[in-house]
Structure 1
Amino acid sequence: MLWFMTCWSVILCLHGYRQSAQGFREKTGSFRKSLKKFADFVFLDAPHKVCAEQGGGEDNDQCLGWWFSREDNYYRAVEYSDIHKGFSQSVEHVCKFIREQGPFDGVLAFSQGACFLSLLCAMKKCGELDLDLGFVMLFAAFRSRCSPHAKYYSPDHVSSVPALLCIGEGDEVIPLEMGNELIECFNDPVVLYHPGGHFLPTQPEQRKFYQNFLEKRLAVKKSQ
């Protein structure tokens, strides 16, 4: 599906844990405005509702997640677990959306969504997914601590998908060391550190960084 004839590119966006497509769109207003000359953004809901104990519930469509690390539909990024409940359904959900509603020039993701996207990149590298991700922009990303995902962090599965990683040095949700662990999972990624916390930074120097990344990716696209 061709979303916007006048756009340089169209980017799919995956929200974080306990968020939704609508909520993520609202939180990224300033970010999207700074890149309106480069791209338009399409937002997708994760398929799983978060448990009531984490602020979700049956009637709360604004608290969604990509997978859970406990059987009672609970997730914490810093906890180690042998469970990844709902992960395969989310993979199918995103792949179906891209194939039916794409193509997309790239995928942007935040927090758990960014961790999820990095796993899709690794699955593509090891031949488990035949999916064109274009480029990826990962904000507050981290390595999953769910043991079923450990195989995707093998040195043999370093992704060649062009990647931008944005890491908050003051992030109290995803510690700095967890963000740094993901850098080696990509081949020569562009890495941006910012002094803030768990959000997409939009100061002038950071906006220029994003614009430069997209300019390079779109130049490659134009030359192909």
Structure 2
Amino acid sequence: MERKSEKKPRILCLHGYRESAKIQKRLILRWPESVTGKLDLVYLDAPFPAQGKSALEGYFDPPYFEWFQSNKDFTEFYKFEECLEYIEDFMLKHGPFDGVLGFSQAAILCAAISGMQRDGMALTKVPKIKFVILISGAKFGGPSFGVPKLAANAFSSPINCPSLHFLGEKDYQKKDGEVLLKCFVDPQVIHHPKGHVIPELDDRNTEIMLGFIEKKVNNFETTRKIALSSL
């Protein structure tokens, strides 16, 4: 029999606050082909039009979107359940997905998704997420953010889901990202000198990224093959 080509990990990519899938795709495709070529990347616009000015106006064209909304103190959240239902519906129609990648607001969301899915509070109709990639993330219930009701127990115990965290030296959310690290079992970290952005990958961070893909992501495919061969 002819051997089938290796299946690439399928990743749902979720953009930042008042940004878009188109913008995120342009930024991620600046990464080396040695990284992007190993992944099946799918980009999704958030469900709600931006309710105010985007920080990217003048740099990238509209439209811009938001995943959910909150008050100025980030203590009350709105349309959070609708956001999760929207993501789950997309996953059902276009999946299955192996992992999720989020930047900024979406990284906060993606960080909690594993815990919510574990507890049966979200994404109950789709397969378990196998890994998360969090760029400029933060923790619900951490230094800067309150907690939506559905995510109340997301971090009640360490999240045993392979995770790769991007921490920017000049990122205003860096401390929140460091707090988030403690919520995961054996988190991997990419440090970069930039601020609150999706950074380009230098040689060292490309190596870390490829190592994560090989050890953490592709390991699931190897485990699956071993399990099938034993049947």
In 2, distance between residues paired with 1:36 and 1:43? 13
Equivalent position of 1:76 in the other structure: none
Kept in 1: contact 2:103–2:135 (CA 8 A): yes
1:30 aligned counterpart, secondary structure? coil
Q: Which among 89, 94, 98 is matched to residue 82 of structure 2?
A: 89
Structure 1 residue 53: Cα displacement: 4.5
Q: Which among 186, 189, 207 is matched to residue 188 of structure 1?
A: 186
> How far does the alpha carbon of each residue in 1:37-77 deviate from its partner, in whole angstroms, 9 at most, with x for none?
31121001100111234579xxx85211111113xxxxxxx
**Gap runs ≥5 in structure 1:** 71-78
Kept in 2: contact 1:80–1:147 (CA 8 A): no
Equivalent position of 1:199 in the other structure: 197
Equivalent position of 1:63 in the other structure: 64
Q: Which among 112, 130, 139 is matched to residue 105 of structure 2?
A: 112
Kept in 2: contact 1:12–1:43 (CA 8 A): yes
In 1, distance between residues paired with 2:11 and 2:76? 30
Structure 1 residue 143: Cα displacement: 1.5
The AA in structure 2 aligned to 1:134 is: K
The AA in structure 1 aligned to 2:22 is: Q
In 2, distance between residues paired with 1:221 and 1:39? 13
Inter-CA distance 61–88: structure 2 relative to 1 (3 Å threshold): farther
Does 1:212 find its partner at 2:211? yes
Inter-CA distance 84–30: structure 2 relative to 1 (3 Å threshold): same
Equivalent position of 1:133 in the other structure: 129
Inter-CA distance 22–6: structure 2 relative to 1 (3 Å threshold): farther
1:8-27 aligned at under 5 Å gives the runs 8-27=8-27
Does 1:43 find its partner at 2:43? yes
> How far does the alpha carbon of each residue in 1:103-138 deviate from its partner, in whole angstroms, 9 at most, with x for none?
112111111111011121120122213242121111
Tell me the TM-score normalised to structure 2 length.
Answer: 0.80
Cα RMSD (Å):
2.4
Does 1:155 find its partner at 2:156? yes
Structure 1 residue 222: Cα displacement: 2.1
Kept in 2: contact 1:7–1:37 (CA 8 A): no
Higher mean alpha-carbon deviation, 130-139 vs 9-18, is at 130-139
**Gap runs ≥5 in structure 2:** 225-231
Equivalent position of 1:123 in the other structure: 116
Structure 1 residue 32: Cα displacement: 6.1
In 1, distance between residues paired with 2:43 and 2:107? 14
Tell me the TM-score normalised to structure 1 length.
Answer: 0.83
Equivalent position of 1:74 in the other structure: none
1:165 aligned counterpart, secondary structure? strand
2:207 aligned counterpart, secondary structure? helix
In 1, distance between residues paired with 2:147 and 2:99? 28
Structure 1 residue 189: Cα displacement: 1.3
Structure 1 residue 221: Cα displacement: 1.6
Kept in 1: contact 2:132–2:164 (CA 8 A): yes
Amino-acid identity (%): 29
The AA in structure 1 aligned to 2:139 is: R
Kept in 1: contact 2:70–2:76 (CA 8 A): yes
